[in-house]
Amino acid sequence: MTDQTQPAEHSDQSVKRATRKPFHSGAKRWVQFGFLILCMPRIACYRIAYVLLGSRAMTSASESIAMIPGLRGVYMRQAFYRKTLDACGRDVYLGWNTVFSMREARVGENAYIGRFCLIGFADIGCQVMIADGVQILSGGHEHDSADSTVSMHDQDQRYEKMHIGNGAWIGAGAIIMADVGNNAIVGAGAVVTRPVPNGAVAAGVPARVLHYRKGWSAPGQQDFASSTTSSETE
């Protein structure tokens, strides 16, 4: 009688990470270079507008290029933001109708930003995934409200850079007004008003930490996996 509990021979292959062949990588670089050439007039127009309009030029240019649909739009946005933001990785995905309001924003390598997102003064790490409709604001208090005799329209503005850690995942429709740590997860529709620690899973309005992902623990506590490893080596 044969043992039915043995795994299939190909089961270990099903979890292997796909790798891009050198030919595909080389072809993609040529495509990116071609779109950079196509995008040069937009980049030149933006730089002229920046001299005339200052920071408002980014919002206008971003709204324009955000409307280009399909894969053509993805490559155009890659080319444009690599030359206009403070930093932007080569292999990033920037979805349709996603707008950057500040040129000081940074986007790390292999980041994914979905459709209909609004990105302010943000430093987005590598391999971050941001779902559709996410808003990353420039801090929780963009408008000063101390002087009640002055209308909100005329109040001073103050911006605070939001840091999104490497490998973080932000669900659809979330609003980010505080830092999100490395490998953290923010649930869909959450409103983040306080920093989310590394490896934490947060959700709700306002967002609260529900638990920590495997291999992570609360700030100030030694990670369980690390403590187990150290005890075994002693």
Which tokens hold the place of 110? Answer: 């292999």
The whole-number pLDDT of residue 217 equals: 75
The whole-number pLDDT of residue 20 equals: 54
User: Three-state SS across 9-62?
Assistant: CCCCCCCCCCCCCHHHHHHHHHHHHHHHHHHHHHHHHHHHHHHHHCCHHHHHHH
The whole-number pLDDT of residue 144 equals: 56
Which tokens hold the place of 2? Answer: 């044969």
The whole-number pLDDT of residue 122 equals: 97
The reply to whether the predicted model has a pTM over 0.75 is: yes
Give per-residue pLDDT as tens, 56-113: 899 999 999 999 999 999 999 999 999 999 999 989 999 999 999 999 999 999 999 9
d(CA 66, CA 60) in angstroms, rounded, equals: 10
The whole-number pLDDT of residue 28 equals: 85
- Residue 136: CA count within 13 A, CB half-sphere: 32
The whole-number pLDDT of residue 172 equals: 98
Letter for the amino acid at 213?
R
| Angle, alpha carbons 86-32-172 (nearest 5°) | 60
The whole-number pLDDT of residue 13 equals: 42
Give the CA distances from residue 11 to residues 15, 16, 32, 81, in Å, rounded to whole numbers and listed in that order.
8, 10, 36, 41
Mean pLDDT, contiguous 10-residue spans, the chain (234 residues): 42 45 74 93 96 92 96 96 95 97 96 97 97 91 58 66 97 98 97 96 96 78 41 43
CB 96 within 8 A of CB 78: no
The whole-number pLDDT of residue 139 equals: 78
CATH architecture of residue range(s) 28-143+159-210: 3 Solenoid (2.160)
The whole-number pLDDT of residue 157 equals: 65
